[in-house]
């Protein structure tokens, strides 16, 4: 068989790992593909090789365009959006197959890229974009292709799961846990994209688009990070038998017009400790899928890391190469279901609202009437007198109600004279 | 687009479910495939429709051959081996794609069928054969195609997991738990294929062949069922922080010649309670995969049931139909790695051996020397005096040693005058 020329774009942790495995495991990979995989080159921004000691200098190039145009399969691992989009489009338009782990690129330009791939019958594989080494893209795209996915709850960001797990296990503050994540290499120097939920939002948009066969623009995904999660909230969640997790939630639901719609969102949530996702510890990821016929499925594993992500990239690469060997076009993106994304305010949730209130008679009654005015009903209310200071803590658990109503309730409660502070608001999921 | 003609062979629980979904969800499935899926007919052994009230009579036929020859995609759900093999080969040789959930067929004739599919560029999809609705075939075949799977531990039989779980949770005897499984519909009238481990062995052979890209004949898979698991063993496992699970184990290991080889086997084993598989309750299935780069992954869900298995079949059907729409051959079976299956006696395990022994001085020393004579070393030994009768219970935990040596140890201990009975032998896994 003719050798298959592979271009690797980017020599970061994952890019270097993929390039090195292509070199060191060449015979093994050839036996799986049925043809040799040849590393045509690695595109880098600058040729300062000191940062990439393990890669042979003669394979490095700054001319990504030429590398792409001479390759059968292009592996995009440079990250970022604009430059990556240019190079992926160039690759697809020249007929090359593309493997990428770039979640930001897919979340913002996915439909454009899938259309470009379909036009020329090229493959666009992206198993590494969500859940690191955990196979989740292919199961959703192919294995569940004949089922109706109702809901996905995903722990898709390892850094934030590590942080929340430390806070739960070691009673750390957010700052302590984050420092610990950095020390263990689970958080980057600037972890803001993780902590703010942005990384999880990219993945939620990708998963929702795939599960519901529709376009879910990143701008339609409401995001709340873990910045405001306090040790007190974690302690309180323990007491009620819950655990706090940052969840990517994708749901198929009925819109106000009675028609089906979808929602994708990211926020911290209280999960019952017996929920399968509650036991996902450390920097691990897991995706919990509820489908009409298949019931509940869970996919679990390491969500990040160089070798783990490289495993997903190489799986995509071998799949693309096998298709290249036997001929025929890549599997096209499935036709769109056209399901609309529902307005975020219409999604129903249950809230747990923690308030610091004046410790005087009648407070609960007055606050309960504020909640009722917004057509939200209270399921539980628990008041605990503070040790001193004339204040008490009131934790209100609501029944399911639209987000917009719940947000209005929180605002109204915050403005009530009896309320000194809204100590925290958490949604409850998985019950 | 031209309609795609689908033949369903068999109208049992899964066959009827698939046929009904093809009828009731036609528009939905067409939108996913990009062409209509037309149910050409359902092949049954006899036309007595009383057992299949939900299927239109005019779709039923006893002429499976004609139905197969007129179909683009054949869904084989008749079970059994010989007749299924004939019809699947007929379908593939006529150029039709095949979807099957028949684990016995694949475990015994897999390589022949894959070769037949590759010859004509047809697809042979079998996600339903292992783990019901849990996507495990595609992740192993495609997502992990670039990684090296080291080991698979699978809970792949729902009936036996339900039984062992009941024994653990409710302190039931094996007979009580099995009766309960039948009552709940988790065990068939004749559950011998489940209880004996045969069903799990089929799945182990399929998983090992797929994970290690080699041929694993069913005859090379040693099988031990749960027939001899006692309530005492389950109680003892609780005390040591273990749980007993029936495991399908597939391993890549080093043979006595220093070369790589593979092993697939099925037996009950002690798992530490903190192992992810330990928390798989009831009739659920889960497959735990350890790969070189990807690390540990777990796939979890319902392992059986009509709608669940139909979900996997329909996923395979939609995937095959999409490929049919865009053209080009199906993805061929990966080239063989040629790894040999190791002799079962050479596989290393840790044993926990429970003995009823005479309660007299020096027993432990004499039995320990019997163990040592076989080059097996003892890790733990715990002796408990019986309430009466002059006997004691001695539980010996061994270090890792070859199966053959451990089997010889058990035989020798059973023959020692100090030993009244070998109460039980369990392997320890997952540590």
Q: Does A111 touch chain B (CB under 8 A)?
A: no
pLDDT of residue A40: 97
- Judge if A263 and A320 occupy the same domain: no
A11 is in an annotated binding site: yes
Report the SS3 class of residue B184. coil
Six-digit token pair at B314? 């329909």
Residue whose pair of structure tokens reads 């749980």 in the numeric block: B243
pLDDT of residue B30: 93
- Non-local (6+) Cβ contacts of A226 within 8 A are A160, A163, A164, A174, A195, A197, A246, A268
Q: Does B2 touch chain A (CB under 8 A)?
A: no
Contact B147 A315 (CB under 8 A): yes
Q: Does A252 touch chain B (CB under 8 A)?
A: no
Between CA B50 and CA B46 the distance in angstroms is 11
- Judge if B64 and B78 occupy the same domain: yes
- Judge if A24 and A84 occupy the same domain: yes
Residues of chain A in contact with residue B300, where contact means CB-CB under 8 angstroms, are 276, 297-300
Residue whose pair of structure tokens reads 């309530």 in the numeric block: B231
Residues of chain B in contact with residue A334, where contact means CB-CB under 8 angstroms, are 32-34, 322
**DSSP β-ladder status, B242-254 and B260-272:** antiparallel
Apex CA A11: angle with CA A8 and CA A15, to 5°? 60
Interface of A with B in 205-244 (CB under 8 A): 213
Q: What's the pLDDT tens digit per position in B230-253?
A: 999 999 899 889 999 999 999 999
- Judge if B274 and B154 occupy the same domain: yes
Six-digit token pair at A190? 């600037």
Is A213 domain-assigned? yes
Q: How far is B59 from chain A (nearest CA, A)?
A: 21
Between CA B172 and CA B181 the distance in angstroms is 12
pLDDT of residue B333: 76
The band of B37, judged by pLDDT with boundaries at 50, 70 and 90, is: very high
For residue A132, which of A387, A303, A351 has the smallest C-alpha distance?
A303
For residue B113, which of B241, B206, B194, B185 has the smallest C-alpha distance?
B206
- Judge if A290 and A144 occupy the same domain: yes
What average pLDDT score do residues A177-185 get?
Answer: 92
More confident residue, A186 or A102: A102
- Residue of B13, B212, B283, B294 best to disrupt the A interface, most CBs of A under 10 A: B294
pLDDT at A50 over 60: no
pLDDT of residue A93: 96
- Judge if A375 and A416 occupy the same domain: yes
For residue A245, which of A234, A260, A261 has the smallest C-alpha distance?
A234
- Judge if A359 and A397 occupy the same domain: yes
Note the maximum CA span of chain A.
Answer: 84
Q: Which residue of B has its CA nearest to A137?
A: B143
pLDDT of residue A53: 60
Q: How far is A286 from chain B (nearest CA, A)?
A: 9
**Which of A86-90, B67-71, B325-329 has the weakest average pLDDT?**
B325-329
The CATH number of the domain holding residue B284 is 3.30.360.10
- Residue of B21, B146, B289 best to disrupt the A interface, most CBs of A under 10 A: B146
Contact A327 B329 (CB under 8 A): yes
Of B297, B318, B331, the CB nearest to A326: B331
Report the SS3 class of residue B256. coil
Is A341 domain-assigned? no
Q: What's the pLDDT tens digit per position in B68-84?
A: 999 999 999 999 999 99
Apex CA B264: angle with CA B259 and CA B265, to 5°? 135
pLDDT of residue B48: 75
pLDDT of residue B331: 77
Q: What's the pLDDT tens digit per position in A402-413?
A: 999 999 999 999
Q: Residue B427 pairs with which residues in a beta bridge?
A: B269, B351
pLDDT at B53 over 70: no
Alpha carbon distances (Å) from A118 to A86, A89, A114? 17, 12, 6
Q: Which helix (H) or strand (E) holds A194?
A: helix A192-195
Mean confidence (pLDDT) of chain B: 93
The CATH number of the domain holding residue A420 is 3.30.70.260
Q: What's the pLDDT tens digit per position in B377-417?
A: 999 998 887 767 789 999 999 999 999 999 999 999 999 99
Contact A21 B316 (CB under 8 A): no
A429 is in an annotated binding site: no
pLDDT at A345 over 70: yes
Residues of chain A in contact with residue B134, where contact means CB-CB under 8 angstroms, are 294, 297
Between CA A322 and CA B333 the distance in angstroms is 9
More confident residue, A211 or A332: A211
Q: How far is B116 from chain A (nearest CA, A)?
A: 15
- Judge if B197 and B284 occupy the same domain: yes
Residues of chain B in contact with residue A292, where contact means CB-CB under 8 angstroms, are 307, 311
Interface of A with B in 371-430 (CB under 8 A): none
pLDDT of residue B51: 61
pLDDT of residue B33: 92
pLDDT of residue B46: 86
The band of B52, judged by pLDDT with boundaries at 50, 70 and 90, is: low
pLDDT of residue B22: 97
Q: How far is A11 from chain B (nearest CA, A)?
A: 18
Single residue among B267, B301, B335 that ends a domain in this structure: B301
| B431 HSE (CA, 13 A, CB side) | 15
Q: Does B24 touch chain A (CB under 8 A)?
A: no
Number of Cβ within 10 Å of residue A322's Cβ equals 22
Of B34, B293, B318, the CB nearest to A307: B293
- Judge if A274 and A384 occupy the same domain: no
A179 is in an annotated binding site: no
What is the distance, to the nearest Å, from the Cα of residue B365 to the centroid of all Cα atoms in its chain? Answer: 41
Mean confidence (pLDDT) of chain A: 93
Residue whose pair of structure tokens reads 């022994």 in the numeric block: B357
pLDDT of residue A221: 96
The band of B49, judged by pLDDT with boundaries at 50, 70 and 90, is: low
More confident residue, A14 or A329: A14
Contact A144 B311 (CB under 8 A): yes
Per-residue HEC secondary structure of B274-341 comes to CCHHHHCCCCEEEEEEEECCCEEEEEEEECCCHHHHHHHHHHHHHHHHHHHHHCCCCCCCCCCCCCCE
Contact B135 A310 (CB under 8 A): no
Residues of chain B in contact with residue A332, where contact means CB-CB under 8 angstroms, are 34, 322, 325-326
A259 catalytically annotated: no
Is A422 domain-assigned? yes
Q: Does A317 touch chain B (CB under 8 A)?
A: yes
Q: Which residue of B has its CA nearest to A126?
A: B143
Alpha carbon distances (Å) from A205 to A202, B200, B395? 5, 38, 54
Of A300, A312, A326, the CB nearest to B332: A326
pLDDT at B336 over 90: no
pLDDT at A299 over 70: yes
Residues of chain A in contact with residue B147, where contact means CB-CB under 8 angstroms, are 133, 311, 314-315
What is the distance, to the nearest Å, from the Cα of residue B321 to the centroid of all Cα atoms in its chain? Answer: 27
pLDDT at A258 over 80: yes
What is the count of residue pairs from A and B with beta carbons less than 8 Å apart? 215
Is A332 domain-assigned? no
pLDDT at A188 over 90: no
What is the distance, to the nearest Å, from the Cα of residue B27 to the centroid of all Cα atoms in its chain? Answer: 35
pLDDT at B359 over 60: yes
- Judge if A128 and A141 occupy the same domain: no
Between CA A136 and CA A104 the distance in angstroms is 17
- Judge if B80 and B226 occupy the same domain: no
Q: Which domain holds residue A402?
A: 347-428
The CATH number of the domain holding residue A120 is 3.40.50.720
Q: Of residues A57, A203, A245, A259, which has the active-site annotation?
A: A203
Contact A311 B319 (CB under 8 A): no
Is A113 domain-assigned? yes
Domain total in chain A:
3
What average pLDDT score do residues B216-237 get?
Answer: 94
Phi, psi of A38 (to 5 degrees): -110, 125
Between CA A134 and CA A120 the distance in angstroms is 29
Q: Does A297 touch chain B (CB under 8 A)?
A: yes
Is B202 domain-assigned? yes
- Non-local (6+) Cβ contacts of B344 within 8 A are B220, B222, B263, B265, B403
Q: Which residue of A has its CA nearest to B281?
A: A276
What percent of chain A is predicted at pLDDT more than 90? 79
Q: What's the pLDDT tens digit per position in B164-204?
A: 999 999 999 999 999 999 998 888 778 999 999 999 999 99
What percent of chain B is predicted at pLDDT more than 90? 79
Number of Cβ within 10 Å of residue A362's Cβ equals 9
What b/e sequence results for B83-122 when a residue is b if at least 16 CB atoms lie within 10 Å of its CB, and e otherwise?
ebbebbbbbbeeebbbbbbbbbbbbbbbbebbebbbeebb
A14 is in an annotated binding site: yes
pLDDT at B50 over 60: no
- Judge if A254 and A311 occupy the same domain: no
Q: What's the pLDDT tens digit per position in B263-277?
A: 999 999 999 998 999
Q: What's the pLDDT tens digit per position in A98-154?
A: 999 999 999 999 999 999 999 999 999 999 999 999 999 999 999 999 999 999 999
Contact B298 A296 (CB under 8 A): no
pLDDT at B290 over 80: yes
pLDDT of residue A308: 93
Q: What's the pLDDT tens digit per position in B299-320?
A: 999 888 889 999 999 999 999 9
Is B333 domain-assigned? no
A103 is in an annotated binding site: yes
What average pLDDT score do residues B124-137 get?
Answer: 94
Is B146 domain-assigned? yes
- Non-local (6+) Cβ contacts of A108 within 8 A are A81, A218
């Amino acid at each position: 068989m003719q050798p298959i020329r592979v271009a690797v774009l980017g020599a970061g942790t994952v890019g270097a790992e993929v390039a090195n495995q292509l070199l060191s495991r060449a015979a093994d990979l050839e036996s799986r593909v049925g043809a040799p995989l040849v590393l045509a080159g690695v595109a880098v921004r600058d040729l300062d090789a000191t940062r990439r000691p393990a890669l042979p200098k003669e394979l490095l190039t700054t001319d990504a365009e030429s590398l792409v145009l001479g390759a059968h399969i292009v592996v995009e691992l440079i990250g970022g959006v604009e430059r990556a989009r240019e190079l992926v489009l160039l690759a697809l338009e020249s007929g090359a197959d593309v493997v990428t782990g770039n979640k930001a690129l897919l979340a913002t330009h996915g439909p454009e890229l899938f259309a470009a791939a379909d036009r020329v019958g090229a493959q666009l594989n992206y198993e590494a974009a969500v859940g690191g080494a955990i196979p989740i893209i292919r199961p959703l795209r192919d294995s569940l292709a004949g089922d109706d996915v109702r809901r996905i709850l995903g722990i898709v960001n390892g850094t934030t799961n590590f942080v929340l797990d430390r806070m739960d296990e070691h009673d750390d503050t957010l700052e302590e846990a984050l420092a610990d994540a950095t020390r263990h290499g689970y958080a980057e120097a600037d972890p803001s994209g993780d902590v703010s939920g942005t990384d999880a939002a990219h993945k939620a948009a990708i998963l929702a688009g795939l599960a519901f066969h529709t376009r879910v623009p990143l701008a339609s995904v409401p995001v709340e990070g873990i910045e405001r999660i306090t040790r007190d909230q974690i302690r309180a969640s323990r007491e009620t038998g819950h655990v706090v997790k940052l969840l990517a939630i994708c749901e198929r639901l009925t819109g106000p017009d009675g028609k089906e719609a979808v929602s994708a969102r990211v926020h911290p949530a209280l999960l019952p400790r017996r929920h399968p996702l509650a036991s996902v510890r450390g920097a691990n990821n897991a995706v919990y899928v509820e489908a009409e016929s298949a019931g509940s499925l869970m996919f679990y594993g390491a969500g990040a890391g160089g070798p783990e992500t490289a495993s997903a990239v190489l799986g995509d690469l071998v799949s693309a190469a096998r298709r290249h060997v036997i001929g025929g076009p890549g599997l096209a993106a499935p036709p769109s279901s056209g399901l609309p994304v529902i307005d975020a305010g219409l999604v129903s949730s249950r809230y747990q609202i923690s308030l610091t209130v004046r410790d005087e008679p009648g407070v609960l009654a007055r606050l309960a009437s504020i909640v009722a005015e917004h057509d939200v009903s209270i399921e539980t209310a628990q008041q605990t007198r503070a040790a001193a200071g004339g204040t008490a803590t009131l934790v209100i658990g609501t029944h399911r109600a639209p987000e917009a109503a719940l947000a209005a309730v929180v605002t109204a409660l915050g403005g009530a004279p009896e309320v000194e502070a809204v100590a925290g608001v958490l949604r409850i999921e998985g019950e």
